[in-house]
Amino acid sequence: MSFDLTSEYQKLLDLLGTLDIDRVHLHHVMGVPDAVLSLLNDLEVPFDVTLHDYYFVNANPTLTDFRGVFAEDAESRDSLCAESSPLPKQMQVAEWRSKYLDLLSRADRIFSPSQRCKDVHLEYFPDLCIAVAYHPEWELSYPYKQPIIPQITAGDKLKVLVIGALNRQKGADVLERTATYRDPLNRLEYHLLGYAYRPLAPEVIQHGAYDDVKLDRMIAELAPHIVWFPAQWHETYCYTLSAALRSGLPILATDLGCFPERLEGRPLSFIKSWRSSPIEWNDTLLQIRDILVAAYDRCDQIDRCIRLRQTIVVFSILAIMLSGVMRVLPNPKRHCQP
């Protein structure tokens, strides 16, 4: 069913009125005509807003420049963001923010999927009341399993996995530049479970698109040693991070967005500056490799000691049991014929 909002707006409003709608939940407004937003007033019901990105700030959902890199300087941020996501013609950024401040101020509730997402919005809309509420899938998985040290020895490459549909903002270029920075000892191996906005260098082993319901199994089958998030924008929640947390694998991520918040206090989790160069990422991954190799070797030694002790205990128990059995058996000499 479709409606021409110019001539059939009232018809649409009348139809919606028959559905006994008591609340509207707004998830995004990109590409949504103002006439549709007018329904929020005309329906006369409360509405909620969930923040998924930063579109309300200046029409650039990721607050990144034309390179897909976070526009760090607040003074030049709007102009840099406009390079890749320009405002509608004849509209100034102050007018844009005023328009959406009016919308957000009328919301009954505003939800943010992370504290960092809330903080960024409050920089521009300081009077809003925003509640932090993780997406519902979090309730299905939390608490996540304790991370474990993966099996890796001194002769193994560190198998680095990046997950998702990678654009510039999610770190596709960072992944490629780091993967093509050659380690002379060839100790690193990069995998992309998903795809990038363009073909990447062959140094990145690409596994293609995946079905979300199969993602956990595919991660387990690839058996990486670490999952890496090279994001260049303030991720607001990151569903692929949830998959990494469910896997129990070590995680390396940039210090932007939700990553420090969601990884805080988690063992085998590493946060590094999003500004890091390929050689710095390379060096960090090699350092993590050394840490994991040493940790696994230590665990293996402990495991061997435990197995040895268990074996000694088992043999001791068997000896005691056999000793007891021998004591109750008749003396075979007594049954010898003279």
Q: Which pLDDT tens digit goes with each residue over 20-71?
A: 999 999 999 999 998 899 999 999 999 999 999 999 999 999 999 999 999 9
Using CA atoms, how far apart are residues 14 and 17, in angstroms rounded to an integer?
5
**What pLDDT shows up at residue 316?**
45
Task: Print the domain residue range for 252.
Answer: 141-291
* 285 and 147 both lie in a single domain: yes
* 280 and 164 both lie in a single domain: yes
The answer to the question of residue 323 being in a domain is: no
The answer to the question of residue 306 being in a domain is: no
**What pLDDT shows up at residue 195?**
97
Using CA atoms, how far apart are residues 75 and 95, in angstroms rounded to an integer?
17
Helix extents (H) in the chain: 5-17, 34-42, 55-58, 77-84, 93-105, 115-124, 137-141, 172-179, 215-222, 239-247, 259-263, 278-328
* 145 and 287 both lie in a single domain: yes
* 122 and 103 both lie in a single domain: yes
Element containing residue 271 per DSSP (H, E): strand 269-272
**What pLDDT shows up at residue 105?**
97
Non-local CB neighbours of 322 within 8 Å, separated by 6+ positions: none
Non-local CB neighbours of 120 within 8 Å, separated by 6+ positions: 54, 57, 63, 234
Nearest to 262 by CA among 119, 122, 115: 115
Beta-sheet strand order (sheet of 269-272): 204-206, 188-196, 158-166, 226-229, 251-254, 269-272
The answer to the question of residue 194 being in a domain is: yes
* 15 and 77 both lie in a single domain: yes
Query: Do 196 and 166 form a contact (C-beta atoms < 8 A)?
Result: yes
* 115 and 160 both lie in a single domain: no
The answer to the question of residue 152 being in a domain is: yes
* 109 and 231 both lie in a single domain: no
**What pLDDT shows up at residue 329?**
33
Using CA atoms, how far apart are residues 192 and 211, in angstroms rounded to an integer?
14
CATH of the domain at 171: 3.40.50.2000
**What pLDDT shows up at residue 335?**
32
Number of domains in the chain: 2
Per-residue pLDDT 10s for the chain (338 aa) are 888 888 999 999 999 999 999 999 999 999 999 889 999 999 999 999 999 999 999 999 999 999 999 999 999 999 999 999 999 988 999 999 999 999 999 999 999 999 999 999 999 999 999 999 988 877 777 788 899 999 999 999 999 999 999 999 999 999 999 999 988 899 999 999 999 999 999 999 999 999 999 999 999 999 999 999 999 999 999 999 999 999 999 999 999 999 999 999 999 999 999 999 999 999 999 999 999 999 999 886 766 555 545 544 443 443 444 444 333 333 333 333 33
* 63 and 195 both lie in a single domain: no
Nearest to 250 by CA among 148, 327, 326, 155: 148
The answer to the question of residue 248 being in a domain is: yes
